[in-house]
Amino acid sequence: MQRIVILGGGVGGTLTANLLARKLGKRIDRGEVDITLVDALGAHVYQPGFMYIAMGGEREQRLSRPERSLLDAPVNLVVDTAIRIDEGARTIVLAGGAALPYDYLVLATGCRIVPESIEHFDTEAEHFYTAAAALHLRHALDAFTGGRIVVGIAAMPYKCPPAPLEVAFLIESELRERGLREKSEVHFCSPIGRAFTIESVSEMATPIFAEKGIELHTFFNVDAIDPERKVVLSLEGEELPYDLLVLVPPHKGQQLVIDSGLAPAPGGWLPTDRHTLRVGGRPNVFALGDATDLPLSKAGSTAHFEAPVVVEGIVAAVEGRQPAGKHATYEGRVMCFFEVGDGKGTLLRFDYEHPPTPPEPNAIWHLGKIVFNKTYFHTVPRGRV
């Protein structure tokens, strides 16, 4: 019996489990292979929808499905929290006390936000990286009657790189629609020397900031928040006053992978081979999605395109052959939509060797994103696209 354990029921974990179940169906039927997915919540949450709770009338209830309902029948689901990966014994220790043995391990553990690492973040800054926080931001925007809005990125890397730019653009559009634009300033802070990590996207986005009258502040790494003076201070020595502060919180990898010696502290990002997706040279441990240290967007799309490569790596090992075919290696493929406000969007498609060349923003790509969001639970996790 070869046991495959997948930690995490997000995009990467769920899709990997379902594709493995299909590729290894006969071996599962014969009792040669067993696939188990461990998820702490037992629920699959569509995180990209959080931004639309703040900006587009989305509701939290529509963004979650029972994980069991998305998994193919042969996949076992364990709803429990993994507290330790014992590599010597090749077991996962669960909070409930059980130990789950594995021959192949897939780390789809995602990442976590750590707003508490910046003093006063919790009381002063809004964000949209949980459903509750996004709803809080919605209420703050509803109460906003004019003033200075600062949108920024507290630290890199973070999930969904376009999201803070999208939020700045959407907030600016909303202010115009509500007749508040003349009474408001919108500022955007980027930790690096341009608006976006990828140069071609930065070149596309920078003129949009100018057109919308959003002031762009580069090399602004958040150092502190002063709640008395209502200013956010940068490591570079600048300070920006705010009436409404919207900050992407700092992110880290999961404590589990740090404590188990698979990822270095303090970041906790898994050292992942950019083509095989194996972790730290281990032949039987794979990572995908937000958990890795790969120089790519932390986005569901990345996990979506990585999953078939992880699956091919494991299936090939189970069958005693080398990975083959179009999913033998991962080439850094990512595809995601990018909202620019006013009902328009564009599309970012890229890989390790080919930076994105985003088309002129239009209504089609905005609608594409909406349709993708609405149909997500029927498509991506089930391996239908």
Partner 1 sequence: MTAVLETPPTVTTTVDARGSFCPGPLMELIRAIRESQVGDVIAVLSSDKGSKLDIPKWIEKAGHRLVSLTTLDGYDEIVVQKAR
Which positions lie near partner 1, rule CB under 8 A?
A: 155-157, 191-193, 197, 219, 221, 223, 235-237, 295
Q: How far is the CB of 333 from partner 1 (least distance, A)?
A: 16
Nearer to partner 1, 83 or 155 (CB): 155
Nearer to partner 1, 152 or 191 (CB): 191
Q: How far is the CB of 292 from partner 1 (least distance, A)?
A: 13
Nearer to partner 1, 212 or 251 (CB): 251
Q: How far is the CB of 223 from partner 1 (least distance, A)?
A: 8
Q: Distance (Å, rounded) from C-alpha 353 to C-alpha 330?
A: 12
- Residue ranges of E strands in 190-322: 214-217, 222-226, 231-234, 239-241, 244-248, 251-253, 285-287
Nearer to partner 1, 57 or 193 (CB): 193
Q: Distance (Å, rounded) from C-alpha 218 to C-alpha 220?
A: 5
Q: Distance (Å, rounded) from C-alpha 348 to C-alpha 359?
A: 8
86: left (phi over 0), alpha (psi -120 to 50) or beta: beta
Q: How far is the CB of 221 from partner 1 (least distance, A)?
A: 6
Q: How far is the CB of 263 from partner 1 (least distance, A)?
A: 15
Question: With 0-12 CB in 10 A as exposed, 13-18 as middle and 19+ as buried, what is 62?
Answer: middle
Q: How far is the CB of 197 from partner 1 (least distance, A)?
A: 6
Nearer to partner 1, 283 or 295 (CB): 295
Cα four-point dihedral sign 303, 308, 309, 312: positive
Cα–Cα separations (whole angstroms), residue 310 to 38, 105, 218, 317, 330: 17, 10, 37, 11, 9
Question: Parallel, antiparallel, or unpaired: how do β-strands 91-94 and 99-101 relate?
Answer: antiparallel
Q: Give counts: helices (H), strands (E), the chain.
A: 11, 22
Cα–Cα separations (whole angstroms), residue 377 to 30, 62, 65, 71, 77: 30, 10, 8, 11, 18
Nearer to partner 1, 197 or 206 (CB): 197
Q: Which structure tokens are listed for 176? A: 């115009």
Q: Distance (Å, rounded) from C-alpha 33 to C-alpha 24?
A: 7
Q: How far is the CB of 91 from partner 1 (least distance, A)?
A: 31
The SS3 call for residue 37 is: strand
Q: How far is the CB of 167 from partner 1 (least distance, A)?
A: 20
Q: Distance (Å, rounded) from C-alpha 333 to C-alpha 354?
A: 9
Nearer to partner 1, 29 or 116 (CB): 116
Nearer to partner 1, 293 or 312 (CB): 293
Q: How far is the CB of 154 from partner 1 (least distance, A)?
A: 12
**Residue closest to 306 by CA, chosen among 321, 319, 291:** 291
Q: How far is the CB of 77 from partner 1 (least distance, A)?
A: 35
Nearer to partner 1, 81 or 221 (CB): 221
Question: Backbone phi, then psi, for 5, in 5-degree steps?
Answer: -115, 135
Nearer to partner 1, 64 or 197 (CB): 197
